[in-house]
Structure 1
Amino acid sequence: MVELNRAVAVSMAYGPASGLRLLDQLADAPELRGYHLLPSVRGDLLAQLGRRDEARAEFERAASTTQNQRERALLLERARAW
């Protein structure tokens, strides 16, 4: 979780590509597997980079892993926006 927050902070300081590189290193972390915020943050960074199809897929993946209906609706809405 700390590393996920670090990736967000790095993206704010150095740009989305830098944060995305850190996130990609976390993809196989067992403690983040199935955690909806990892693909959600990844979707945000991909969207900032203009990588629309990848961003859409990440928002959809995040929506499929959350149990919260409001979060799911928001993530699906974000996916449709791309």
Structure 2
Amino acid sequence: EPRLKDTHLLPTVRGDLLAKLGRIDEARAEFRRAAGLTGNEKERALLLARADGG
């Protein structure tokens, strides 16, 4: 979906799915990517916490 390409939503979902599959390093990278795409400070903090294993 082109409209989702530049939002944090797709990498957030991708990170969640990768984490559930046990692919932790890849999940962390997706959460960091999502954090860089969101404009919301609270979402950014949550995504960075997930990237750090929290």
Q: How many residues align?
A: 54
Structure 1 regions of 5+ residues with no counterpart?
1-28
Cα deviation code 1:30-49 (max 9, x no counterpart) = 21111101000000000000
**Are 1:78 and 2:40 matched, yes or no?**
no
Secondary structure, aligned partner of 1:81:
coil
**Are 1:32 and 2:4 matched, yes or no?**
yes
Where is the helix percentage greater, Structure 1 or Structure 2? 1
Kindly state the Cα deviation for residue 77 of structure 1 after the two structures are TM-superposed: 0.2
Structure 2 regions of 5+ residues with no counterpart?
none
**Are 1:45 and 2:17 matched, yes or no?**
yes
CA RMSD of aligned residues (A): 1.2
Q: Percent identity?
A: 67
Q: Tell me the TM-score normalized by structure 1.
A: 0.63
> What residue in structure 2 maps to residue 23 of structure 1?
none
Indicate the structure whose relative CO is greater, using CA pairs within 8 Å and at least 6 residues apart.
2
Q: Tell me the TM-score normalized by structure 2.
A: 0.94
Structure with bigger gyration radius: 1
